[in-house]
Amino acid sequence: MSISASQVKELREISGAGMMDCKAALTETNGDMEAAVDWLRAKGISKADKKAGRTAAEGLVGVASNGKKSVVVEVNSETDFVARNDAFQDIVRNVANVALTTDGSTAAVAAATYPASGKSVVDTIKDAVGTIGENLSFRRSAALSVSEGVVATYIHNGVSDGLGKLGVLVAIETAGDADAANAFGRQVAMHVAATNPLALTPAEVDPAAVEREKAVFTESARQSGKPENIIEKMVEGRLRKFYEEVVLLSQAFVINPDLTVEAALKDAEKAIGAPAKITAFVRFALGEGIEKEATDFAAEVAAAVKK
């Protein structure tokens, strides 16, 4: 198949590899971008992963909390200009507060009654398209709660209270001091914002992701020419390192890299005054996984001139 210049450019941006390497990778994988990234990694040319290179949509992420329960929502707009609009910010803030009265699932929040309008969240956002003048959509929501303890929240790149480009929830179960637990939970939430772990524990890592990494590690190790039994040990070592990098409790804590998050939690129990356990986390980055339609600006201008 023919590989386009735009495909090569996209792979270069994702992987940081050279043009010819990117073209070879795409040719070998029939233009499959994710497979091409893996091909480059196996050759030792790139360290990029599947999370790199995603195009972000605009809008805002919002959080709301009552202490033992917190929610995070994402509402999208077409431009960042609208995301700075007070009316749009009020919508996202209200959607987050509505989400707090539901189980937090996307379906429940979408159908919930929006304050003052008497309509559902989805219908109210549709009505706002006319007044704000831009396409808007409620994309997703999630909630975490604890029977005892706190659910800490953190907003990164905040534009207003509880609103920003990235939101994180971290649930900590404990019978200890709620303020101390919340303070530590916020630090963990900041850590999650920075490192984007795949799972809380090794057992929770997506098996497909593990198999994908194992395949890349195996192919890379085989290029060393070592015997299969040595390759197997090399792969096992690489997988252990992989878990340390992507599992929250095993990661080096960004606040104190000398400790893992799990060890930092144990240390924080002194201030909390009781045993504590991180039970879950949620991380919403604005627009992750959404692909914007590619546009040819020169063609748009040329078309406008002809009108």
Per-residue pLDDT at 262: 97
What integer pLDDT is reported at residue 230 of this predicted model? Answer: 81
Residues 75/125, Cβ–Cβ less than 8 Å: yes
> What is the SS3 assignment for 246?
helix
pTM for this predicted structure: 0.74
Mean pLDDT per 10-residue segment, the chain (307 residues): 82 77 87 86 61 56 96 93 92 97 96 92 90 88 98 94 96 98 97 95 88 82 78 82 91 95 98 98 90 51 49
Q: Are 143 and 129 in contact (CB under 8 A)?
A: no
Say which DSSP state 44 is in.
T
Rg (CA), the chain: 23
Supply the pLDDT for residue 5: 83
Closest among 14, 62, 54 to 36, alpha carbons compared: 14
Buried b (16+ CB within 10 A) or exposed e, 26-50: beebebebeebbbbbbbbebbebbe
Sheet holding 58-65, edge to edge: 137-145, 69-77, 58-65, 163-164
